[in-house]
Chains A and B, each alone.
Chain A
Amino acid sequence: MPAKPRLAVVKFASCDGCQLSLLSLEDELLRLAGKIEVAYFLEATSRIEPGPYDVVLVEGSITTADDATRIQQLRRAAKYLITIGACATAGGIQALKNWADSEEYLRAVYARPDYIRTLATSTAIADHVAVDFELRGCPINKHQLLEVLRSLLAGCQPRTPTYSVCVECKRRGSVCVMVAHGTPCLGPVTQAGCGAICPAYDRGCYGCFGPSDQPNLVPLTDHLRSIGMTPEQVVNSLRGFSGYAGEFRRESERLVESIGTIATGVGAAAVEPDVADSSGEWGDGQPGGDPK
C-alpha cells in the first residue's frame, strides 16, 4: 500500500446508507482523510479523479446489464476491491425479485415499465468479479469499516467476527428476547458485527449481517415454528436484507419446497418477527403469557 492510498467509493443498486457510514466516522474522519486520498466519492465530493485506485469500496448489487459491465471495469481499476453492505455482499433486499417475476414487479411499481431496463435478478458483486474482502450488514457497522481501512493501511488482516450475534448480545448483557419473551430472533444464525442492537431494544435479530460461520438453520427454523410462526412467516423472515446469502437462501428454499407454494411475490405480507408475544410488555403480569 502506498504512503497515501487512493480510495474510490462507488455504488450500484443500493440506498447509499453504507457509504454514509464512512462520513459518519466523525471522530476519525479528518485523521482518515490525512491517510488516504479520496479520488472518487460522489457522496462526499463532486471532484472525480480517474483510476486506478488502491482501494475501491463497492456498495450495491448488480441489477442492470450496464452495471454488470461497469463492475468488470472497476475490478480492473482496483488493487483491493471491498464490498460494503448486504446489497453488495448478498444482493440486498432487492434480491427478493430473484424468487419472483421481475416483469410483474415492473408492472406493479412503474407507471411506464417500458422505461425500465433491468436484469431479472439482483446479485452480489462476488457473483461477477473477485472480491478481496466483504463487509456485511444493512447498513455496515462504521467501526468495522474503520477496522478494514486501518488494517489495509497497516497491511494486516481485518478482524471482523464470523460468530453469531448471540456472542455480542451476551457480552452486552442483553436478555435473550427469544428465551425470555418468546420473540422470534435470527441472532443464533446471524453473523455478529452490528453490536447486537435489536435485541438490546427488545426486538429479534433481523439477520442483516447474513449467515454466521457454519450456522445450523434447520433447528432454528423448527423452533421458530414451534413458538408460533407459520412456515410462510419463517420464510419471509429469512428473506430479509441478506435473504439471498448462502445458508439463508438455501433454508428458505428448503422450507418453500417442503410446504409447497408460498406467497413471496408482489403483495406478500412483510413479517414483523415478533409474532409470538405481541403484547411485548411485562409491567403488570406475565410477559408472553403462561410459559407452560
Chain B
Amino acid sequence: MAERETKPDPKGKSLPASDDGPGAAGWIAKSDFQSFLDRLVALGYRTIGPTLIQGAIGYDEIRQVDDLPKGWTEHQSAGSYRLVRRDDDAWFGFNLGPHSWKRYLFPPQQTVAKAIKRDDGWQLDDVEDAEPPFAFLGVRACELAAILVQDRVFLNEHHSDPIYRRRRENALLIAVNCTQAAETCFCTSMGTGPRCVVAFDLALTETELGFTVEIGSPRGASVLAGLPIREAAPAECAEAASARQQAEDQISKRLDTTDIRELLLGNLDHPQWDDVAERCLSCTNCTMVCPTCFCHSVEEVSDLDGGQVDRVRQWDSCFNARFSYMNGGLVRGDVRSRYRQWLTHKLAGWIDQFDTSGCVGCGRCITWCPVGIDLTAEVAAIREVPK
C-alpha cells in the first residue's frame, strides 16, 4: 500500500502528518480529557470509542472518560481473545477488539430505499440517514488504512454510496497510536502502521499523565480551540516516542507480500486450498470482523398489504454458499472455493480492482476465527511449496 499516501484522499482533507517531535505537538492532561469529550458533544458529535462489551473491548458510545477501558488489555492469538487486567491504568493500553469502524460507516443493516404504491404506480424514495456526525475516538493506524481502503470501494469515481459518503465526510477521526502490539498484529508487513501518519483529524499518543496531540486537518485544529492544551514538553514527546517504538518492537507476525498477487493467482490449484478447506467452518467470522470486507446483499421486504416495499442492505459474506448463487446454481459450491475466493480477492484481486491490498494487517480475522485459521500461515504454506 506504499502508493496510498500519494493518492488524493476522496475527501481532499488529508494533510501531511505533523510530527510530535519537540515543539510540534500539543499536550492534554488526562485530568482535562473530559473537557475534550464534552467539547465533542457540544459540537454535535456522537462519540464512539473503545469500551468494555461482553468481556472484550469493543466500540460503543463514549460520554465519560470512565467509559474507556482504563486498566484493561487483551491477549490475542489465533482463535483466542482474553480480556486481561493491566498492571497500570492506561486508557488505550490494548490493540483491537472484534468491532471496527466499518459498522458505523457501513452499517450491518440499513434500509436504503422505500417504494410506496400509489394510484399512478410505484414511487421509489431514498431513505434519509438521520445519524448525527460521528467522532471516532481511538482509531488505530491500521484502521485509518482500512477506512481509506473502504473509501476506494464506496467513494470511487464510478460509484458513490450516499450513506457511506455522508457518514464518512461528517466523521471526525481521532486516532490513537498503538503503544503495544498483539501477537496477531502485522501492520508493518502491510505498510499501514503502527504509527498514524495519514487520514486523521487528530492523533493522540498516550503517556502516563496525558496525551501528545498531533493535528492532521483544519477540522482537527478547530475542535481543539479553547481546550486546555499546551505545547508538549520535550520529556513528554520523548515518552510518547518511546511508547510508539514499543509497539513497533513488539510486532512479531509477518506476511511476506513479495509478488503476492502473482503467487496467489498462480497457485489456484495448490493443495493448501484443500488443506484449509478441511479446517475452515465457512462461518463468515473473518469477513464480518474484517475492517475492509464490504460484501452485502440487498433484499426487498414488503409489508403485509403489499403497499410498501423496503430495500434493505445487510452485511453478507463470500463464505455464504448462497452468496454465489447465480442463474440456477452456486458458483462457489464448496468451502475450498470460498476460502480461496476470499484470500485471493483480499490479497490479490483487490490490487487489480482497487489498486491496493484489501488487507491492512489488523489480525482480526486471525483472532476471531473460531478455529484459529491464520491467513499469514496459509500464504506462507503456499509460498513455501509453490506449484
A-B contact count (CB 8 A): 147
Could you mark each residue 362-387 of chain B with 1 if its beta carbon is under 8 Å from any beta carbon of chain A, else 0?
00000111110000000000000000
In the complex the two chains form, is B283's CB within 8 Å of A164's CB?
Answer: yes
Interface residue A230 (Cβ < 8 Å from any Cβ of B)? no
Answer whether A223 and B317 are a contact pair too, CB < 8 Å, given A28-B304, A180-B54, A180-B82: no
Contact B282 A287, beta carbon cutoff 8 Å = no
Within 8 A of B (CB), among A235-292: 282, 284-292
Residues 68-88 of B contacting A (Cβ, < 8 Å): 75, 77, 79-85
- Which residues of A sit under 8 angstroms from B77, Cβ to Cβ? 291
On whether the beta carbons of A179 and B284 are closer than 8 Å, the reply is no
Q: Determine whether A175 belongs to the interface, using a CB cutoff of 8 Å to chain B.
A: yes
A66 and B221 CA atoms in complex are apart in Å by 79
Complex contacts, B317 vs chain A, CB 8 Å: 163, 167
Interface string of A176-213 (1 = CB under 8 A from B): 11111110010111000000000000100000000001
Q: How far is the CA of A163 from the CA of B299 in the complex (A)?
A: 15
- Check A216 against B335 for contact (C-beta < 8 Å): yes
Chain A 218-236 per-residue mask, 1 if CB under 8 angstroms from chain B, else 0: 1110110000000000000
In the complex with contacts A154-B306, A213-B322, A219-B278, A173-B108 CB distance below 8 A: yes
A153 in contact with B306 given A163-B284, A170-B108, A214-B321 (CB within 8 Å): yes
Task: Indicate if the CB atoms of B282 and A214 lie closer than 8 Å.
Answer: yes
Min CB distance B303 to A, Å, is 8
B109 on interface, CB distance cutoff 8 Å: yes
CB contacts (< 8 Å) of A218 on chain B: these are: 278
Docked CA distance A159–B301 (Å)? 9
Q: What number of A residues sit within 8 Å (CB to CB) of B?
A: 51
The answer to the question of B238 belonging to the interface, with a C-beta cut-off of 8 Å to chain A, is no
Residue from the list B55, B279, B315, B367 in contact with A287, Cβ < 8 A: B55
Count of chain B residues with a beta carbon within 8 Å of a chain A beta carbon: 52
B315 pairs with A171, CB closer than 8 A: yes
Contact pick for B321, options A35, A162, A181, CB 8 Å = A162
Report the Cα distance A139→B108, complex, angstroms.
25
Does the CB pair B335–A287 fall under 8 Å?
A: no
- The verdict on B199 contacting chain A, using a C-beta distance below 8 Å, is no
A174 contacts chain B at the CB level, 8 A cutoff: yes
Q: Please list the residues of chain A having a beta carbon within 8 angstroms of any beta carbon in chain B.
A: 28, 31-32, 35, 146, 150, 153-154, 159, 162-164, 166-167, 170-182, 185, 187-189, 202, 213-216, 218-220, 222-223, 282, 284-292
> B residues within 8 Å of A by Cβ?
53-56, 58, 75, 77, 79-85, 97-99, 103, 108-109, 278-285, 288-289, 299, 301-306, 314-317, 320-322, 333-335, 367-371
| 5 pairs, A vs B, C-beta closer than 8 Å | A166-B283, A166-B370, A173-B53, A214-B333, A219-B279
Given known contacts A28-B304, A162-B320, A170-B98, what 12 new A-B pairs fall within 8 Å (CB)? A163-B317, A167-B316, A167-B317, A173-B53, A175-B56, A176-B98, A179-B98, A179-B367, A189-B281, A214-B335, A220-B370, A291-B82
